[in-house]
């Protein structure tokens, strides 16, 4: 008998793994949640995780590691210098991403700090496909000014454009005209674009960008935090890639850039870790020198040997088609269920989470009353599900005028940790969002009563307006 079973035609996205160990979570009462929320100043970052039932705050460092990764921890070579695990990690980065040189860091922002210090001069411009909080802050602290060159569709939650992470080359060209190519430190390209809702960039767009940058002598630095997830969307949506593997597409993406910062806490399936990877030896030399100032010796950065081993194994697991298919499939499942109930979310559903459109969800709450922050608080109060604000609080203030940035996107991110929650958990999330939607008129917004200077969303405190 012959069956053509090599395609996924009718198969669901079910997980290519089974559960070996479980962690109990606390089911709280409404009164317990109310108390916890007030104590946390209506900021989900300030909740104790013991008071959380389903934790969708972030996909960062919240991954479940595989048995192979846990076994890898036992192979940690904790030598101060020249750990074997550093070389395993270097091999994995060269093999799966194709970058030549590795500088390990404790997480993504450690790498952002180093590359910003090396490549950005006072007064420089750093164009990118939408800002990311820590990335932009490091660019600014090094004297640069971030400029958004993402396509307009990315700022429209309703637009179904398949590659909302694409760069608008006309916007980049206008910056080159205005400031000159020598004042552009590099183009900062994220795969996928977190703040746009986990939206991918296409290879066609990246190739065009590469050609433009080569012509003008501008580097591309790749925030590759979710590169495998971006590759999956390319495989699904971009002509000519259906038969390529995620691993092949990942390598092609990386080959169009000069270097990368990585928060391994996402795609690479670990709980801590990151790195800077570059192709230029001189930049590597400088980075290797700076890393000892800010992170640790150049063969461990901020990581222990066992952490580096887990990242090396995680990288290999992260580029497997079956893994990514189920990872993104679970996010799509949640998004599609919410869409079926007409809940306003960013479309198309992104890679690492579902993003609620708080402006549409709570049209009666003005942006200055922090609708996304208030919505995240209301969801926690309803069910103990923790989500994250990605709107005016996250956007922070203009470094020159001191005014709030008023981003077009005012979102609540339901971020799905990798390999952690089940489909039944996703169903509970849907039930809670529907409940809050039914009662949305009771959510009146917040007042900020404490505002930290840097990355205020992490520690700001609020009071309820009613
Ligand atoms: C797109 C993107 N870039 C950079 C970072 C920073 O990485 P880390 O949190 O590991 O410092 C993150 C993490 O949230 C991210 O999502």
Could you read off the pLDDT of 287-324 as tens digits, one per residue?
Answer: 999 999 999 999 999 999 999 999 999 999 999 999 99
Q: pLDDT tens, 165-204?
A: 999 999 999 999 999 999 999 999 999 999 999 999 999 9
What is the spatial distance between Cα 408 and Cα 154, in angstroms, rounded to a whole number? 10
The answer on pLDDT for 361 being more than 80 is: yes
Structure tokens given for 238: 């971009």
Q: How far is the CA of 352 from the centre of ligand 1 (A)?
A: 13
Per the prediction, the chain carries an average pLDDT of 97
Mean pLDDT in residue range 145-153:
98
> Measuring CA to CA, which residue among 58, 62, 42 is closest to residue 380?
42
30 flagged as catalytic = no
Q: Give the atom of ligand 1 at the shortest distance from the alpha carbon of 194.
A: 1
Give phi and psi for 167, each to the nearest 5: -90, 140
The model's confidence at residue 10, banded by pLDDT at 50, 70 and 90, is confident
**Annotated active-site residue in 325, 390, 413, 419:** 390
Euclidean distance between the first and the last CA atom of the chain, given in angstroms as a whole number: 68
Cis peptide bond prior to 192, omega within 30° of 0: yes
pLDDT more than 90, % of the chain: 96
Q: Using a 6 Å cutoff on CB, does residue 108 contact ligand 1?
A: yes
> Measuring CA to CA, which residue among 172, 163, 166 is closest to residue 151?
166
361 flagged as catalytic = no
pLDDT computed for residue 125 by the predictor:
98
What is the spatial distance between Cα 281 and Cα 164, in angstroms, rounded to a whole number? 33
Q: Give the atom of ligand 1 at the shortest distance from the alpha carbon of 223.
A: 3
pLDDT computed for residue 11 by the predictor:
78
Q: What is the pTM of this model?
A: 0.95
> Measuring CA to CA, which residue among 351, 358, 362 is closest to residue 329?
351
**Annotated active-site residue in 223, 267, 307, 357:** 223
The model's confidence at residue 441, banded by pLDDT at 50, 70 and 90, is very high
Q: Using a 6 Å cutoff on CB, does residue 192 contact ligand 1?
A: no
132 flagged as catalytic = yes
The model's confidence at residue 362, banded by pLDDT at 50, 70 and 90, is very high
pLDDT computed for residue 4 by the predictor:
78
Question: What is the Cβ-side half-sphere exposure of residue 416, based on CA atoms within 13 angstroms?
Answer: 30
Which residues fall within 8 angstroms of residue 70, CB to CB, at 6 or more apart? none
What is the spatial distance between Cα 358 and Cα 231, in angstroms, rounded to a whole number? 28
The answer on pLDDT for 2 being more than 90 is: no
Q: Using a 6 Å cutoff on CB, does residue 263 contact ligand 1?
A: yes
* Rg of the chain (C-alpha set): 22
Q: How far is the CA of 148 from the centre of ligand 1 (A)?
A: 18
pLDDT computed for residue 9 by the predictor:
72
What's the maximum distance between 2 C-alpha atoms anywhere in the chain? Answer: 72
**Annotated active-site residue in 42, 132, 275, 421:** 132
80 flagged as catalytic = yes
Q: pLDDT tens, 238-249?
A: 999 999 999 999
């Amino acid at each position: 008998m012959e069956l053509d079973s090599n395609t996924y035609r009718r198969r669901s996205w079910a997980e290519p793994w089974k559960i070996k160990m479980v962690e109990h979570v606390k089911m709280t009462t409404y009164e317990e949640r109310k108390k916890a929320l007030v104590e946390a100043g209506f900021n989900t970052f300030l909740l104790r995780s013991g008071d959380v039932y389903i934790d969708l705050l972030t996909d960062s460092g919240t991954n479940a590691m595989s048995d192979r990764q846990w076994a890898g921890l036992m192979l940690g070579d904790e030598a101060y210098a020249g750990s074997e695990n550093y070389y395993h990690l270097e091999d994995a980065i060269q093999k799966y991403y194709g970058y030549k040189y590795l500088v390990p860091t404790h997480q993504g922002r450690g790498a952002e700090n180093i590359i910003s210090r090396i490549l950005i001069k006072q007064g420089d411009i750093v164009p990118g496909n939408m800002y990311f909080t820590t990335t932009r802050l490091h660019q600014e602290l090094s004297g640069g000014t971030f400029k958004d060159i993402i396509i307009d569709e990315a700022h429209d939650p309703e637009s179904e454009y398949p590659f909302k992470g694409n760069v608008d080359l006309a916007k980049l060209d206008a910056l080159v005209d205005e400031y000159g190519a020598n004042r552009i430190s590099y183009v900062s390209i994220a795969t996928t674009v977190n703040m746009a809702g986990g939206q991918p960039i296409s290879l066609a767009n990246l190739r065009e960008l590469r050609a433009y940058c080569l012509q003008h002598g501008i580097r591309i630095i790749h925030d590759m935090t979710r590169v495998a997830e971006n590759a999956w969307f390319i495989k699904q949506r971009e002509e000519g890639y259906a038969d390529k593997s995620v691993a092949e597409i990942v390598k092609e993406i990386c080959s169009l850039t000069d270097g990368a910062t990585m928060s391994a806490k996402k795609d690479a399936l670990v709980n801590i870790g990151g790195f800077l990877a570059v192709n230029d030896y001189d930049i590597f030399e400088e980075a290797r020198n700076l890393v000892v100032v800010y992170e640790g010796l150049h063969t461990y950065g901020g990581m222990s040997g066992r952490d580096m081993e887990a990242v090396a194994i995680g990288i290999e697991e992260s580029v497997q088609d079956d893994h990514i298919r189920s990872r993104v499939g679970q996010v799509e499942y949640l998004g599609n269920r919410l869409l079926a109930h007409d809940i306003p979310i960013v479309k198309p559903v992104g890679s690492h989470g579902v993003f609620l459109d708080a402006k549409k969800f709570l049209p009666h709450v003005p942006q200055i009353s922090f609708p996304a922050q208030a919505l995240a608080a209301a969801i926690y109060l309803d069910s103990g599900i923790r989500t994250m604000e990605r709107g005016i609080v996250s956007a922070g203030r203009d470094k020159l005028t001191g005014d709030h940035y008023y981003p077009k996107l005012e979102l609540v991110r339901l971020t799905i940790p990798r390999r952690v929650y089940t489909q039944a958990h996703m169903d509970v999330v849907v039930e809670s969002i529907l409940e809050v939607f039914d009662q949305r008129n009771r959510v009146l917004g917040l007042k900020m009563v404490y505002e930290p200077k840097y990355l205020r969303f992490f520690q700001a405190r609020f009071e309820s307006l009613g």
